[in-house]
Amino acid sequence: MVATVSTPAFEGPIDLLLQLVNSHQVDLYDVPLAAVVDAFVVEVAGWDSVDLQVLSEFLIVASTLIELKSRRLLPGPDDIDTDEELVGWEERDLLLARLLECQAYAAAADGFALLLEQAARSVPRTAGLDLDFVVNAPDLLEGVTPDDLADAFGRATAERPVPVVDLYHVTVDTVTVADTVAALARRLPRLGASTFRELTRHLTSRMEIIVSFLALLELCKQGRVSLDQGHTFGDLEVAWVADDRQPVPVGPGLYDEYEG
């Protein structure tokens, strides 16, 4: 059992990383970690017994991502200690090896798609035997009991095809971090103080909520809002820091975009 994490564009940490790596526009750090972890926790809760192998593998991937991402997201010193940088090299090497292997299989998958397409251009003859040929073959049902048939029915129905909807090429209307920063910079001064839950109450997609969160972090980095969380998993309190010296810079390209 390994956790499945499905959002429209990503499936699990490894797929996620692969997509990040393969499409050069996506920042490696913009990963919806909470979703990844949530899904995993749900999965673990369903386990009969703990699978240490899976658990530790997940922890390696997740902790590497969390480390990388937290450095990026949190306001902090501009440069980091080189010693600190070395921590986690081993994990990264492991991850790298796995990524490479996955890339090789992704390339193989592309090849398969091509072969399937080519092969589908030729259709085999399956008309079979003309019925006027004399067939003396033995009874094919020799030894088959009614119970065998019931079992076969069970097998056939247990494996119903899962209709596959390929979302690979679906593009969603994206809400940008830049737009959200601009919207919050208009809205927050009027509100003065609010909570994250309140600010995102009208939003319907997880994507919009994540983008709002990233926009708040941008404003926090700029010192325009203060963020406070009373307790773990508590609601995030957001307060506008009045500053009339200069407006919040807005416009496309100023902020890293979330491509989830």
Q: Which of residues 113-132 bind another protein (CB under 8 A)?
A: 113, 115-116, 118-131
Quote the CA–CA distance of 111 and 105 in Å, as a whole number. Answer: 10
Three-class DSSP category at 52: helix
214 binds another protein (CB under 8 A): no
Choosing from 112, 186, 234, 243, the residue that interacts with another protein (CB under 8 A) is 112
43 binds another protein (CB under 8 A): yes
Q: Which stretch binds another protein (CB under 8 A): 137-145, 170-178, 212-220, 243-251?
A: 137-145
Quote the CA–CA distance of 55 and 92 in Å, as a whole number. Answer: 17
32 binds another protein (CB under 8 A): no
Minimum Å gap between C-beta 239 and another protein is: 26
Which residue type sits at 136? N
Contact 69, 29 (CB under 8 A): yes
137 binds another protein (CB under 8 A): yes
Over the Cα atoms of the chain, what is R_g? 27
41 binds another protein (CB under 8 A): no
Show contacts with another protein in window 64-93 (CB under 8 A). Answer: 67-68, 71-72, 76, 78-80, 85, 88, 92
DSSP category for residue 11: B
Residue 45 burial (C-beta neighbours within 10 Å; 0-12, 13-18, 19+): exposed
From residue 139 to residue 168, the character string flagging contacts with another protein as x (rule: CB under 8 A) and all else as - is xxxxxxxxxxxx-xxxxxxxxxxxxx-x-x
47 binds another protein (CB under 8 A): no
Which pair of tokens denotes residue 66? 């969390």
Minimum Å gap between C-beta 130 and another protein is: 6
259 binds another protein (CB under 8 A): no
Dihedral sign, Cα of residue 93, residue 20, residue 10, residue 75: positive
